[in-house]
Amino acid sequence: MKHKKLNLSLKLDRTNSTPLYLQTYRQLRGMILQGGLPPGYCLPPSRQLARQEGIGRITVMQAYKQLQAEGFVISRPGAGTYVAEDVTRLLSSTVKPPFDPPLSDWGKRVEDQETEGTRGKTRSEIDFGFGRSFSHIFPYDIWRRLLARYLSTDDIMLSRYGSVAGFDPLRKAVAGYLARQRGVICTPEQVVIISGAQQALDILARLLLTTGDEVLVETPGYRDAFTLFQVNGATLVPLSVDDNGFPVEQIPERCRARLIFVTPSHQFPRGGMLSLPRRLALLEWSQQHDAFIIEDDYDSELRYDGRPLSALQGLDDSGHVIYLGTFSKVLFPALRLGYIVLPPPLTSPFVSAKALVDRGAPTLTQAAVADFIDEGHFERHLRHLRKAYGERRQALLLALETYVQGRVFYSSVPAGLHVMLYLHPSCPEAEIVRQAAAGGVGVYAGAPFHLQKPAPPSILLGFSGLDAAQITEGVKRLATVIPEI
């Protein structure tokens, strides 16, 4: 092999925390990839390069060894170290156009959507953002103690994969809690612990929908569910909700929906609640049409005028209701834990799909949540939340009465962590959001939650991240940009 004469010099930085051998290796590798050291080039003997760069010979030998292990160079005993002949020049001197990754059809549909990951986030001074938890209320001391309980290094919990369907004590705890508080009828085996409700919707869409299938949804409604169903090829059939929730009687005669996605206990985001006659009619429709109902019970624990309403699932004796709950609102959203109660025939396919998607939710946090429920902290925490959030909701309603009465309409159901304000039909929603932001108040456009076009002008106000004084001040400033009618 010919020894080509090239001026090989390195730029080593002794103040850098990266070891010198790694710097040497990386720079030589870069030169090889860029063609600076062509195939067949004989690297200088380690002693020579070490002397030239003022570094130890071992350092150079370590770098050569790493290059050899990765196939960039070949070492011939007695003959030297050569750049491998088959190393292709991955980077040529000509500028390549940026790589535009070809996406699958699913990927292209996702790319066309605005999702949580791509939504712009600017935080206003007073931000009525939805989905925040008020961190002061969370019992950190108890949570820390429960997590620490499971943090011993030799615990089998940490050294093995957990159960895909969920940590058994948590499945039992959730089944018990749902029976006590939500009137859900199920065995622990029907409960699967999920990484948030969003994951369950994704798995259900993939398991139950075929391209072109119809899905009945509420409008306004939960837009991240809309998006999921759509990227999975579904056609949405939206029905406008009223104070009594989803208008079952308006389901078109020809509708053959495979899924119905509803929020019966607290309609999202408008407010209101599915009436008993409609609950019964919906169950009947699903039975007659072999459709599943997904009951998204995302915040039903947060009811401020007494006991939360029982779940629709408890009325279903035919296995058509899939019940969905999340810890995002009542513990904290970054926990990424929720639960689904499946009709028995769906449990096995759901768990198999979950095994493929993520092998199960993290065991450590599941164990802590199980104890949190079993030791009574959860239900105590819910009582604190109801009090604290109930007071904030009151502050919001009082401020609305004081500053914008007659200019907005909202549901009176005392529940949840947000209020949807409907504006006069002539109000320019986007302009109001913009002007409020200019005054330091973050409120959110209602249009993305509505499938009816044009959407009635509305804005969403989440109050769970603000205290009463901020809420009052925020509404006072908001009132200055909502026109008198």
Ligand X SMILES: Cc1ncc(COP(=O)(O)O)c(C=O)c1O
On whether the CB atoms of residues 323 and 295 are closer than 8 A, the answer is yes
On whether the CB atoms of residues 340 and 188 are closer than 8 A, the answer is no
Residue 125 burial (CB count, 10 A): 13
In the complex, least distance from residue 326 CB atom to ligand X, rounded to whole angstroms: 3
For ligand X, which stretch binds (CB under 6 A), given 29-37, 325-333, 389-397, 448-456?
325-333
On whether the CB atoms of residues 440 and 363 are closer than 8 A, the answer is no
Does residue 268 interact with ligand X by CB under 6 A? yes
Q: Which amino acid is at 91?
A: L
In the complex, least distance from residue 380 CB atom to ligand X, rounded to whole angstroms: 22
Does residue 222 interact with ligand X by CB under 6 A? yes
**Whose Cβ is closer to ligand X: residue 420's or residue 481's?**
420
On whether the CB atoms of residues 418 and 127 are closer than 8 A, the answer is no
Give the gyration radius of the chain's Cα atoms: 30
Q: Of 265, 260, 163, whose CA–CA distance to 218 is shortest?
A: 260
For ligand X, which stretch binds (CB under 6 A), given 64-72, 139-147, 196-204, 430-438?
196-204
In the complex, least distance from residue 199 CB atom to ligand X, rounded to whole angstroms: 7
In the complex, least distance from residue 447 CB atom to ligand X, rounded to whole angstroms: 17
Does residue 339 interact with ligand X by CB under 6 A? no
**Whose Cβ is closer to ligand X: residue 42's or residue 197's?**
197
Does residue 198 interact with ligand X by CB under 6 A? yes
On whether the CB atoms of residues 85 and 39 are closer than 8 A, the answer is yes
Does residue 363 interact with ligand X by CB under 6 A? no
For ligand X, which stretch binds (CB under 6 A), given 151-159, 192-200, 253-261, 368-376?
192-200
Helix (H, G, I), strand (E, B) or coil at 33: helix
Question: How many of the chain's residues bind ligand X (CB under 6 A)?
Answer: 13
Alpha-carbon distance of 397 to 403, in angstroms, equals 10
Alpha-carbon distance of 183 to 297, in angstroms, equals 12
In the complex, least distance from residue 395 CB atom to ligand X, rounded to whole angstroms: 22
Q: Which of 39, 80, 131, 238 binds ligand X (CB under 6 A)?
A: 131
Does residue 44 interact with ligand X by CB under 6 A? no
DSSP state of 99: P
Does residue 197 interact with ligand X by CB under 6 A? yes
For ligand X, which stretch binds (CB under 6 A), given 34-42, 115-123, 163-171, 193-201?
193-201
Does residue 298 interact with ligand X by CB under 6 A? yes
Residues 6+ apart with CB under 8 A from 277: none
Residues 72-111 that bind ligand X (CB under 6 A): none
In the complex, least distance from residue 246 CB atom to ligand X, rounded to whole angstroms: 14
Which residue do the tokens 């058509």 mark? Answer: 320
Does residue 328 interact with ligand X by CB under 6 A? yes
- Angstrom distances, CA of residue 363 to CA of 115, 138, 341, 431: 28, 21, 19, 46
Interacting residue ranges for ligand X, rule: CB under 6 A:
131, 196-198, 222, 263, 268, 296, 298, 326, 328, 333, 338
